[in-house]
């Protein structure tokens, strides 16, 4: 089973040379720490930075340099800063190759709910709706179940939707799963996790074809 860093490490393997990548709040922000050194990747944050680096070491934080989640970050050489209009022009213009988001629920058809729990205070939609409406390659980083042990990979989302039929892949603490027209397709299982455990933790339709390899982190 993976922890949050393990999920981020596995997603980092999906990042290719030359990609422009947007990282959502939560687990996705960790991905920048684990991208291979031999490739060039530009991380974008919708509050207006292109060329975001890994998190700073303790004592080296710059309070004026933050990501969309208000976490302190670093800027790589050549990074650029701009206003929200320019930032969302990049997003809506489909200039971002990969979007990595957290989620509270994902449905078997690729619907995602990640911005609001009814009755609880929410700061706002943020850039999530623009990202899921514009991106063609969306990977979700999430825990497979909630704190009560209920599945977060569902037949149909129960929370307010952020986007419809937009998620392409999900990486959880238990598995790597592709979203297909026929439902969730199991690609890899986390170390020490059986296919049966993943099936039990998945409410939505889960396709299992052949022997499922263990993740290589």
Phi/psi for 91 (5° steps) reads: -70, -50
Q: How far apart are CA 4 and CA 178, in angstroms?
A: 19
**Who's near 4: CB < 8 A, 6+ residues apart?**
27, 30
What count of other Cβ atoms lies within 10 Å of the Cβ of residue 162? 25
Residue 124, pLDDT > 80, answer no
Residue 125, pLDDT > 80, answer no
The answer to whether 35 and 81 have CB atoms below 8 angstroms apart is no
What six digits make up the tokens of 2? 């993976």
Name the pLDDT band for 98 (thresholds 50, 70, 90).
very high
Q: How far apart are CA 55 and CA 93, in angstroms?
A: 28
Give the model's pLDDT for residue 25: 84
**Who's near 182: CB < 8 A, 6+ residues apart?**
205, 207
Q: Which fold has domain 4-46+95-207?
A: Glutaconate Coenzyme A-transferase (3.40.1080)
Percent of the chain beyond pLDDT 90? 80
pLDDT tens for residues 20-66? 999 988 899 899 889 999 999 999 998 999 999 888 999 999 999 99
The answer to whether 186 and 175 have CB atoms below 8 angstroms apart is yes
The answer to whether 97 and 40 have CB atoms below 8 angstroms apart is no
Residue 171, pLDDT > 90, answer yes
Q: pTM value?
A: 0.92
**Who's near 178: CB < 8 A, 6+ residues apart?**
168, 169, 170, 184, 185, 187
Give the model's pLDDT for residue 205: 97
Domain ranges (residues) in the chain: 4-46+95-207
**Mean pLDDT to the nearest integer, 125-143:** 89
Residue 123, pLDDT > 90, answer no
Residue 72 DSSP symbol: B
- The residues carrying an active-site annotation are 46
Residue 111, pLDDT > 70, answer yes
């Amino acid at each position: 089973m993976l922890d949050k860093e393990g999920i981020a490490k596995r997603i980092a393997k999906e990042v290719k040379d030359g990609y422009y990548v947007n990282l959502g709040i939560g687990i996705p922000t960790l991905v920048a720490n684990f991208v291979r050194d031999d490739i060039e990747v530009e991380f974008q944050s919708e509050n207006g930075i292109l060329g975001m680096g890994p998190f700073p070491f303790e004592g080296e934080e710059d309070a004026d340099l933050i990501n969309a989640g208000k976490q302190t970050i670093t800027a790589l050489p050549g990074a650029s800063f701009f206003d929200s209009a320019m930032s969302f022009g990049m997003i809506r213009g489909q200039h971002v190759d990969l979007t990595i988001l957290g989620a509270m629920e994902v449905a078997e058809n690729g619907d995602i709910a990640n911005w609001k729990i009814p009755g609880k205070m929410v700061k706002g939609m943020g850039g999530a709706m623009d990202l899921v409406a514009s991106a063609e390659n969306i990977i979700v980083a999430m825990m497979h179940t909630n704190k009560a042990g209920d599945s977060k990979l569902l037949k149909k989302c129960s929370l307010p939707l952020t986007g419809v039929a937009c998620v392409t892949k999900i990486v959880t603490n238990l598995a790597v799963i592709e979203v297909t027209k026929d439902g969730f397709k199991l690609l890899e299982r986390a170390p020490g996790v059986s296919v049966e455990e993943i099936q039990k933790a998945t409410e939505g339709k889960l396709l299992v074809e052949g022997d499922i390899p263990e993740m290589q982190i």
